[in-house]
């Protein structure tokens, strides 16, 4: 299939280099890309593939130590090496961009109306007052309800989805030729993600601009892109129509990416398996505001009367969007936040257990967090991190014993035991998550609560971590509570699924039943929004 | 907003009370007293003096009496400047300290923000390095060194300006004490501005502003500068309170008739009432400026709402 559409942005031999104290790092190694009028090109790759830096380089947005060489011609005009003044006539007008972080991409100190007006005033002239009508029109266009009122809102008064709509309004303000969307939905909940992508699609159909979609998510690519460029380590490994890439991938890396979607299924434990952890009628309140001379305190109910029973060897997947209370529920079950309800661990009723009563049980109830960067102390060696719990729970161990246990645990999570003498920053995200898992399993726990353990990881790494978790479960007879917003991961990990919204359980059941015949509307919305490949 | 101000003012009352109570007892537990001179007074004279100032009463009674008087604005007589009440002394000296302090504050603020911004925009250049080195000196060299050095150079060697005194209050007289007062604060403002400006320039919304082709001037002034001013504004409160209530060192070196001297003189002479008076003065300034800064902060940053 040949595309006769005109090429409007031609990238040739584009290189992006960063100067670092350890020498130059080439993030983009001389790539060619063509963007045609009105098409949707997806640039796909994992973190570090150079997909974002390519666009940042073209737009003159690299960090100070970054340098771009090569050629990027927009309708014949060379952008690389163009002085700032010249570049400023193109960016924000002909080529616009929306970013991954809707929370931080808008200036918190100005109203959204003013921020959308800024590029209009700058590129077209006129006053902010005159631009106001256009801003209202744009807000209407991107589906912000009640634009006349919202135009004077500040970013912090809007949700993530709304902020991304504001960014899109800004991007459309000057009728661009090309809209670059850099991971536009990664930071958003799945249902919001679907709405934003829908909006982009509609707007593209209406205005006919080209969209460059930078993403790591193949589900999105399949649904929205007409052409795909797959990037890896600063190079384009394959380009082709979306159908070709998905049906007949040529490069090994593309095949690997496609296969990296989590798969497999976990079998349920026997019906007779004893219940190991139970929470009945769990409720958690957060108090907001209040103080010596402050206004009266408000109460926010994060978890509202949820009951859950975890059997030995079972994995319960808890799905929900941000604010659904899924993480808080996990912490409540471990008695880490003040909560009401009845809690039972094995044969012990732990409802009234305080901090010190819980301590001896902690080793059997472990928690692994989402962020493998924030949850490991940067000033401790990996060995110190993973053996810390042993000091508390097995104080009788000698230094040599602890070291032996550390070696075992690291081997078990697939890391070189020599890693114990190194520091967390020397490891990749996936390796750090393995370290976090090693820290939990070294104590030989019975229940592990996994709070979005794969969400910060690339797809291919995600698959490996999931395999590891499954192996460990089998080897040690662990029971998991697996918290995630990612349905494909939940599907691969759990034998029982609980869907949460606003602190309550919307629906629960065996994994197959939930995925194949969801009953509740909310579950159905979640499923359809998730683009599971 | 109004209820916020009223609530804050209401909470100032217990704050002041605690400050007064702690300093009252601390002062009394310090050894010696206002009339313990190098050559001891005859016992009868001492007893008379103590009785005149009610210092022979039990401490608790003195405390209650002090609080009772203080709420009516009566801070008692000074024990050392015998012809003056504490209120008179402060009333006389404060305008001098405040005027000089205000000029110093303006110099520190404007100079500091300007140099800090320039340093941030030229991060890691020779200019940045020079500005930061000088500001380190500004912070570390004490003003009892800066004052005499300035006098030596500009008043004695070059004879451009007078060496001291308030004179007619013109710039000629005030420029050296003003610089001596402002320099350390200017250095702090410069460092604060540089740090927060560099941070602000690396935020995502600055990237957005650049991506939308806004000119560098707009990006820096409209977007980065406003965000960078937030920590600077926070520091403004303690800084203003310190500068406007005078400095013992600078006022002594340049013989300025302000209130700064009273802190030190009062404390050394165990002039209980004078020390208490200056403590209350500083506490009120700190409270008022913190309130003003919080209001200003709310105007600058819509995320901080006072309702």
Q: A434, A415 in Cβ contact below 8 A?
A: yes
- B117-126 confidence digits (pLDDT tens): 999 999 889 9
Beta-carbon count within 10 A of B4 CB? 16
Residues of chain B found within 8 Å of residue A87, distances taken between Cβ atoms:
213
| High-pLDDT (> 90) share of chain A, % | 54
A340-345: strand order across its sheet? A298-311, A275-288, A340-345, A348-349
Could B211 and A96 be called an inter-chain contact, meaning their C-beta atoms sit closer than 8 Å?
A: yes
Beta-carbon count within 10 A of A179 CB? 23
Could A105 and B205 be called an inter-chain contact, meaning their C-beta atoms sit closer than 8 Å?
A: yes
- Interface pTM, i.e. ipTM: 0.79
Which pLDDT value is given to residue A293? 47
**Token pair listed for A194:** 């679907």
H or E stretch at B157: none
Residues of chain A found within 8 Å of residue B125, distances taken between Cβ atoms:
none
Coil/strand/helix, residue A173: coil
Q: Which residue of A has its CA nearest to B300?
A: A109
Could A92 and B300 be called an inter-chain contact, meaning their C-beta atoms sit closer than 8 Å?
A: no
Distance from the B70 Cα atom to the nearest Cα atom in chain A, whole angstroms: 25
Comparing CB atoms, the residue among A99, A108, A123 nearest residue B213 is A123
Chain B positions touching chain A (beta carbons under 8 Å): 7-8, 10-11, 123, 203-205, 207-216, 218, 223, 226-227, 300-303
Which pLDDT value is given to residue A532? 53
Q: What span, in angstroms and rounded, lies between the C-alpha atoms of A171 and A165?
A: 10
Reported as a pLDDT band with limits 50, 70 and 90, residue B307 is low
A99 has a chain B CB within 8 A of its CB: yes
Residues of chain A found within 8 Å of residue B301, distances taken between Cβ atoms:
108-109
Comparing CB atoms, the residue among A59, A84, A89 nearest residue B216 is A84
Q: Which residue matches tokens 């009945």? A: A280
Distance from the B259 Cα atom to the nearest Cα atom in chain A, whole angstroms: 34
Which pLDDT value is given to residue A13? 95
Reported as a pLDDT band with limits 50, 70 and 90, residue A533 is very low
Residues of chain A found within 8 Å of residue B8, distances taken between Cβ atoms:
293
Q: How many residues does chain B have?
A: 307
Distance of CA B273 to the CA centre of its chain: 21
Average pLDDT, chain A: 89
Q: What span, in angstroms and rounded, lies between the C-alpha atoms of A135 and A116?
A: 6
Residues of chain A found within 8 Å of residue B218, distances taken between Cβ atoms:
118, 122
Could B208 and A167 be called an inter-chain contact, meaning their C-beta atoms sit closer than 8 Å?
A: yes
Q: Which residue of B has its CA nearest to A111?
A: B302
- A430-464 confidence digits (pLDDT tens): 888 899 999 999 999 999 999 988 887 887 788 88
Q: Mean per-residue pLDDT for A397-416?
A: 91
Q: What span, in angstroms and rounded, lies between the C-alpha atoms of A343 and A326?
A: 17
Q: Which of the pair, B162 or B104, is modelled with greater confidence?
A: B104
Query: How many CA atoms lie less than 13 Å away from B167 in the CB half-sphere?
Result: 15
Residues of chain A found within 8 Å of residue B7, distances taken between Cβ atoms:
293-294
- B65-93 confidence digits (pLDDT tens): 888 888 888 888 888 787 888 888 899 99
Interface-testing mutation among B9, B14, B123, B211, with chain A (most A C-beta atoms within 10 A): B211
Residue A419 has pLDDT above 90, yes or no: no
- A38-74 confidence digits (pLDDT tens): 999 999 988 878 899 999 999 999 888 889 999 999 9
Q: Which of the pair, B212 or B39, is modelled with greater confidence?
A: B212
Residues of chain B found within 8 Å of residue A108, distances taken between Cβ atoms:
205, 227, 301-303
Comparing CB atoms, the residue among B10, B205, B213 nearest residue A88 is B213
A:B CB pairs within 8 Å? 82
pTM, full prediction: 0.80
Could B204 and A101 be called an inter-chain contact, meaning their C-beta atoms sit closer than 8 Å?
A: yes
Coil/strand/helix, residue A208: coil
Could A119 and B208 be called an inter-chain contact, meaning their C-beta atoms sit closer than 8 Å?
A: no
H or E stretch at A11: strand A7-20
Residue A267 has pLDDT above 80, yes or no: no
Which pLDDT value is given to residue A1? 47
Interface-testing mutation among B1, B122, B124, B212, with chain A (most A C-beta atoms within 10 A): B212
Residue A332's closest CA among A305, A359, A356, A363? Answer: A305
Q: What span, in angstroms and rounded, lies between the C-alpha atoms of B24 and B67?
A: 10
DSSP β-ladder status, A178-182 and A210-215:
parallel
Angle, nearest 10°, between helix axes B126-140 and B86-121? 160
Which pLDDT value is given to residue B297? 86
Residues of chain A found within 8 Å of residue B223, distances taken between Cβ atoms:
107, 109-110
Residues of chain B found within 8 Å of residue A93, distances taken between Cβ atoms:
213
Residue B197's closest CA among B218, B226, B233? Answer: B226
CB-count burial class (<10 Å; 0-12, 13-18, 19+) for A27 = buried
Residue A288 has pLDDT above 70, yes or no: no
A376-380, A490-494, B48-52, B286-290: segment of lowest average pLDDT: B48-52
Provide the H-helix boundaries in B122-170.
Answer: 126-140, 143-150
A88 has a chain B CB within 8 A of its CB: yes
- B247-272 confidence digits (pLDDT tens): 888 998 888 888 988 888 888 888 88
Coil/strand/helix, residue A375: coil
Q: Mean per-residue pLDDT for B193-204?
A: 93
Query: How many CA atoms lie less than 13 Å away from A490 in the CB half-sphere?
Result: 28
Residues of chain A found within 8 Å of residue B205, distances taken between Cβ atoms:
104-108
Q: What span, in angstroms and rounded, lies between the C-alpha atoms of B251 and B63?
A: 31
Q: Mean per-residue pLDDT for B208-220?
A: 92
Q: Which residue of A has its CA nearest to B303?
A: A156
Residues of chain A found within 8 Å of residue B227, distances taken between Cβ atoms:
107-109
Backbone φ and ψ of B212, nearest 5°:
-95, 15
Distance from the A39 Cα atom to the nearest Cα atom in chain B, whole angstroms: 21
Residue A350 has pLDDT above 50, yes or no: yes
């Amino acid at each position: 299939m040949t595309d006769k559409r005109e090429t409007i942005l031609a990238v040739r031999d584009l290189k992006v280099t960063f100067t670092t104290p350890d020498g130059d790092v080439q993030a983009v190694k001389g790539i060619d890309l063509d963007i045609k009028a009105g098409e949707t090109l997806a640039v796909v790759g994992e973190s570090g593939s150079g997909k974002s830096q390519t666009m940042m380089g073209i737009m003159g947005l690299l960090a100070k130590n970054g340098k771009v060489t090569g050629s990027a011609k927009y309708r014949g005009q060379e952008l690389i090496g163009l002085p700032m003044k010249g570049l400023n006539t193109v960016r924000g007008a002909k080529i616009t961009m929306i970013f991954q972080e809707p929370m931080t991409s808008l200036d918190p100190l100005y109203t959204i109306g003013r921020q959308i007006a800024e590029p209009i005033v700058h590129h077209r002239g006129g006053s902010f007052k005159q631009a106001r009508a256009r801003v209202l029109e744009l807000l209407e266009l991107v589906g912000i309800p009640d634009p006349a009122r919202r135009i004077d809102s500040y970013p912090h008064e809007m949700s993530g989805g709304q902020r991304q709509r504001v960014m899109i309004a800004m991007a459309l303000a000057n009728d661009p030729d090309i809209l670059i969307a850099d991971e536009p939905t990664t930071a958003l909940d799945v249902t919001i993600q679907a709405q934003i992508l829908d909006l982009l699609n509609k707007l593209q159909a209406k205005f006919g601009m080209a969209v460059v979609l930078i993403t790591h998510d193949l589900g999105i690519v399949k649904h929205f892109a007409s052409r795909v460029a797959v990037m890896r380590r600063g190079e384009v490994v394959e380009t082709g129509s979306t159908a070709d890439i998905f049906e007949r991938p040529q490069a090994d890396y593309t095949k690997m990416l496609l296969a990296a979607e989590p798969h497999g299924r976990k079998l349920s434990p026997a019906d007779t398996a004893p219940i190991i952890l139970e929470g009945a009628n769990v409720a958690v309140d957060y108090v907001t505001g209040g103080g010596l001379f402050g206004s009266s305190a408000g109460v926010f109910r994060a978890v509202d009367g949820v009951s859950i029973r975890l059997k030995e060897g079972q994995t319960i997947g808890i799905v929900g969007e941000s604010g659904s209370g899924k993480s808080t529920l996990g912490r409540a079950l471990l008695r880490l936040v003040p909560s009401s309800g009845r809690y039972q661990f094995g044969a012990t009723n732990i409802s009234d257990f305080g901090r010190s009563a819980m301590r001896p049980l902690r080793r059997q109830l472990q928690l692994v967090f989402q962020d493998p960067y924030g949850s490991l102390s940067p000033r401790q060696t990996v060995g110190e991190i993973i053996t810390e719990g042993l000091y508390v729970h097995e104080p009788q161990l000698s230094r040599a014993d602890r070291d032996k246990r550390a070696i075992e645990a690291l081997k078990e999570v697939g890391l070189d035991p020599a890693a114990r003498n190194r520091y967390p920053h020397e490891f990749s995200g996936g390796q750090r998550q393995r370290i976090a898992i090693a820290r939990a399993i070294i104590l030989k726990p019975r229940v592990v609560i996994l709070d979005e353990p794969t969400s910060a990881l690339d797809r291919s790494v995600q698959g490996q971590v999931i395999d590891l978790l499954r192996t460990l479960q089998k080897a040690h007879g662990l029971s998991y509570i697996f918290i995630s917003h990612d349905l494909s991961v939940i599907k691969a990990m759990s034998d029982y699924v609980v869907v949460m919204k606003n602190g309550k359980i919307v629906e629960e059941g065996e994994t197959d039943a939930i995925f194949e015949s969801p009953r509740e509307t909310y579950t159905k919305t979640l499923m359809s929004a998730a683009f599971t490949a | 907003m109004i209820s916020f101000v009223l609530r804050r003012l209401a909470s100032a009352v217990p704050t002041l009370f605690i400050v007064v109570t702690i300093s009252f007892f601390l002062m009394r537990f310090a050894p010696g007293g206002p009339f313990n001179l190098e050559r001891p007074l005859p016992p009868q004279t001492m007893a008379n003096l103590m009785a005149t100032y009610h210092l022979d009463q039990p401490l608790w009674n003195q405390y209650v009496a002090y609080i009772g008087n203080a709420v009516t604005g009566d801070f008692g007589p000074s024990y050392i400047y015998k012809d003056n009440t504490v209120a008179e002394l402060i009333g006389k000296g404060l305008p001098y300290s405040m005027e000089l302090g205000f000029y110093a504050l303006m110099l520190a603020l404007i100079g500091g923000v300007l140099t800090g911004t320039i340093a941030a925009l030229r991060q890691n250049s020779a200019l940045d390095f020079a500005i930061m080195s000088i500001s380190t000196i500004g912070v570390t060299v004490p003003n009892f060194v800066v004052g005499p050095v300035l006098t030596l150079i500009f008043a004695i060697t070059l004879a451009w300006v007078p060496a001291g005194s308030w004179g007619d209050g013109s710039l000629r007289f005030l420029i050296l004490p003003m610089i001596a007062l402002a320099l350390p604060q200017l250095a702090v403002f410069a460092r604060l501005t540089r740090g927060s400006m560099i941070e602000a320039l690396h935020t995502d919304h600055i990237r957005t502003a650049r991506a939308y082709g806004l000119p560098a001037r707009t990006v820096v002034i409209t977007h980065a500068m406003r965000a960078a001013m937030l920590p600077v504004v926070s520091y403004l409160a303690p800084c203003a309170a310190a500068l406007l209530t005078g400095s013992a060192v600078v006022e002594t070196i340049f013989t300025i008739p302000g209130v700064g001297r009273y802190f030190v003189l009062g404390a050394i002479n165990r002039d209980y009432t004078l020390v208490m008076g200056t403590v209350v003065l500083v506490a009120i300034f700190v409270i008022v400026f913190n309130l003003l800064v919080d209001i200003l902060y709310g105007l600058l940053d819509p995320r901080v709402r006072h309702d």
